[in-house]
Chain A
Amino acid sequence: MSQSSATPLAAPAIQVPAIQVPAVPLLQLGTWVVFFGLLAMLAIFFVSADQGALSLFAGNAVHEWVHDARHLLGYPCH
């Protein structure tokens, strides 16, 4: 897990990538996290909860269609 977590000062014997690629700036990443986070929550909502505890659409078509996935992926159902 973290066996290669030697501090930069420790100067490891083998240094495969000699160049440190700059980290992705968090501010730039934040925009994408918000954008995709909302999309992902919507997708998870439809598979896990729509027409169960909460209903965005009337009826049971979404619930019935993803029924088996909802059970087998461990979301509360029925």
Chain B
Amino acid sequence: MGTVPRDRSVLSPAAFLLRGLAVGLAAGLIAFVVAFALGEPYVDDAIALEEAAAAQPPAEHPEHAEEAQEPAGQDGMVEISRENQKSWGLLTGTLAIGAALGGLAALAAAAVLGRLGLSARGSTALVALVGFVAVTLVPFTKYPATPPAVGSGETIGGRTASYFALLLVSVLAAIAVVVLANRLRARYDGWTAAFVGAGVYLVVVTGTGLLLPTVNELGDFPADTLWYFRRSSLVTLAALWASIGVGLTVLVGRMHDRAAADLARRELAASL
């Protein structure tokens, strides 16, 4: 194996990144369909509630009342129709996030391939699973998605900082724990290492979650609409990650098989 030259390796970072971007865009499209079908009805419900609340007491939502009165087109202030927001606007967002997460997942898959004692498909699927938990599920558990009409404009700075602080800790802890579990694998078996790693990760993110401030700005927003919205949001994010996971596992697996076949041919040729 050591005699095989590495310079013509098929497994270049660029090849991973291209596959990740392609898979991410496809996943973004799937997430758009799921979000449009499952989530948009509750976004509409929430906006209807928001507008009804803004119409009744004049000073309830000062920021939004101003928005409604101010004519659009001043100082770069625009009003985009609901039809555009829920179709092209939503699609823009899911495609951008899909491509970003798909590309990052592909580079992570390149980093772990051949280093965790798993097959190429196994390590790639693990990246998507860890990605879903660390990037989406853990931040969602502490700071779940909120529909329009929930959340004050005055606290957006603090809420955004808390959300991204938890996201950052969660991602860094997940990376550290994979490295730790991979070290433990040499001394214990793979399952023990995985359980210890998962346990350490849970302790770190639970502790961080307890330290970060809790947000409760629900007011009298109806609980059923809130739950349906959050459920559809989580299903959208799960669909995004599942698509990235399946797509990337297939593409990286095939690329690895081709590289392995290529190497086998060259080793055979060199041995003749």
Contact B16 A24 (CB under 8 A): yes
Give the Cβ gap from B195 to chain A, nearest Cβ, in Å.
10
Contact of A70 among B40, B93, B153 (CB under 8 A): B93
Please give me the residue from chain B that is nearest to A20 by CB atom. B1
Contact B148 A77 (CB under 8 A): yes
- Which B residues are CB-close (under 8 A) to A33? 107, 111
Give the Cβ gap from B176 to chain A, nearest Cβ, in Å.
16
**Interchain CA distance A8-B101 in the complex, whole Å:** 32
- Which A residues are CB-close (under 8 A) to B17? 32, 36
Contact B160 A68 (CB under 8 A): no
Contact A64 B119 (CB under 8 A): no
- Which B residues are CB-close (under 8 A) to A78? 146, 148-153, 156
- Which A residues are CB-close (under 8 A) to B129? 1
Contact B146 A76 (CB under 8 A): yes
New A-B contacts (9) at CB < 8 Å, excluding given A28-B12, A52-B156, A73-B237 = A1-B129, A5-B191, A22-B6, A43-B100, A44-B96, A59-B78, A66-B92, A69-B97, A78-B149
Please give me the residue from chain A that is nearest to B125 by CB atom. A1
Binding site for B on A (CB under 8 A): 1-8, 17-26, 28-29, 31-33, 36-37, 39-41, 43-44, 46-47, 49, 52-54, 57-61, 64-78
Please give me the residue from chain B that is nearest to A70 by CB atom. B93
Please give me the residue from chain A that is nearest to B79 by CB atom. A64
Please give me the residue from chain A that is nearest to B82 by CB atom. A68
Contact A74 B9 (CB under 8 A): no
- Which B residues are CB-close (under 8 A) to A52? 156, 160
**Interchain CA distance A8-B114 in the complex, whole Å:** 11
Contact B110 A60 (CB under 8 A): no
* 10 A-B interface contacts by CB (under 8 A): A4-B117, A22-B11, A24-B16, A24-B111, A29-B110, A41-B100, A44-B100, A65-B88, A73-B233, A75-B145
**Interchain CA distance A44-B100 in the complex, whole Å:** 7
**B51 an interface residue at 8 Å Cβ cutoff?**
no
Contact B114 A72 (CB under 8 A): no
Contact A77 B93 (CB under 8 A): no
**B124 an interface residue at 8 Å Cβ cutoff?**
no
Contact A19 B76 (CB under 8 A): no
- In the A-B complex, the 10 residue pairs with the smallest Cβ-Cβ separation, listed nearest first, are A69-B93, A59-B76, A5-B190, A53-B160, A74-B145, A40-B100, A23-B114, A32-B13, A2-B190, A78-B151
Known: A60-B76, A76-B163. A5 touches B148 (CB 8 A): no
Contact A24 B110 (CB under 8 A): yes
- Which A residues are CB-close (under 8 A) to B240? 73
**Interchain CA distance A53-B124 in the complex, whole Å:** 34
**B19 an interface residue at 8 Å Cβ cutoff?**
no
**B248 an interface residue at 8 Å Cβ cutoff?**
no
